[in-house]
Structure 1
Amino acid sequence: MWARWLNVILGFWLVSAPFVLDYRLQEPQLNDLCVGLGVMLLALAAIAIPKLRYANTLLGVWLILSPFLLGFGGYRTATLNDIIVGLLVTALSLVWDHRVWTPHRRPLTQS
């Protein structure tokens, strides 16, 4: 579950990054605001429903590719931020969660 909380923090960073890093272009501003909100909300939802974490995998990959697909790849600050945060979000969304894959065991009862 710790990985979900780290993704919540990374989502918050994405929402605040355009202001902290003073982005000058509208494309990276809107991208980080929208994706940041999505990462936060999906990470919070994945705390309750662990399999939702894979949706953040898609958002992480989008962050890595978005500077080039949206045309702000030449803007170094936003590009580096999105690639680094995208790699972290993707990696954290793939962290194994034993609650998803471990079958529930019933306690042994005495006969």
Structure 2
Amino acid sequence: MENWSNAKLCDVANFVLGAVLFFSPWMFGFDAGAASGNAYVTGLAIAILAIAALAAFAVWEEWLNLIVGLWALVSPWVLGFQGTTAMTVHVLIGAAVAVLAAIEIWIMTQNPPRLTTGR
């Protein structure tokens, strides 16, 4: 049960991080270019995956969150908005989401959830 709680906490944290990334163009004043568009799409994807994981956990959701988090991490260089506040936000949130997803994957591989009650 402790592992389940840790996984849920990671999902809640990912939801918050996704929401912060989504609202970051308004919070930090990004321009209307690639940085803000990427923040909207990536933040929304992170939040939706976190909600899906909270509703019904599946390992594939965590793998997708890991990929989206890594995308947020490298997107400033791919899309060309390095050296900006938008870059800092994307890198920090992307790294945090990727680490949390990796932790959840590790937790689930160490103690996979039981599908039966054991009765």
CA distance in 1, matches of 2:90, 2:32: 14
Q: How does 1:25-104 map to 2 (within 5 A)?
A: 25-47=32-54, 48-51=56-59, 52-74=61-83, 76-96=84-104, 97-98=107-108, 101-103=112-114, 104=116
Partner AA of 1:64 in structure 2: L
Work out the number of aligned pairs and report it.
Answer: 106
Unaligned runs of 5+ in 2: 1-7
CA offsets 1:46-77 (integer angstroms, 9 cap, x no match): 12133111101001110111000001113x20
1:101 aligns to what SS in structure 2? Answer: coil
User: Which is higher, the Rg of structure 1 or of structure 2?
Assistant: 1
Q: Which runs of 5+ in 1 are unaligned?
A: none
Work out which of the residue numbers 101, 106, 111 in structure 1 matches 2:118. 106
Aligned partners of 2:38, 2:72: CA distance in 1, in Å? 8
Other-structure match for 2:29: 22
Q: Aligned partners of 2:9, 2:88: CA distance in 1, in Å?
A: 25
Q: State the alpha-carbon separation in 2 of the partners of residues 55 and 3 from structure 1.
A: 14
TM-score by length of 2: 0.81
Choose 49-58 or 10-19, whichever is displaced more. 49-58
Cα RMSD of the aligned pairs, angstroms, is: 1.9
Give deviations 1:5-56, integer Å, cap 9, x for gaps.
Answer: 1100011101110001001251100000000000000111112133111101
Kindly provide the amino acid, as one letter, of the partner of residue 112 in structure 2: W
CA drift at 1:98: 4.6
**What secondary structure, in the 3-state scheme, does the structure 1 residue paired with 2:92 have?**
helix
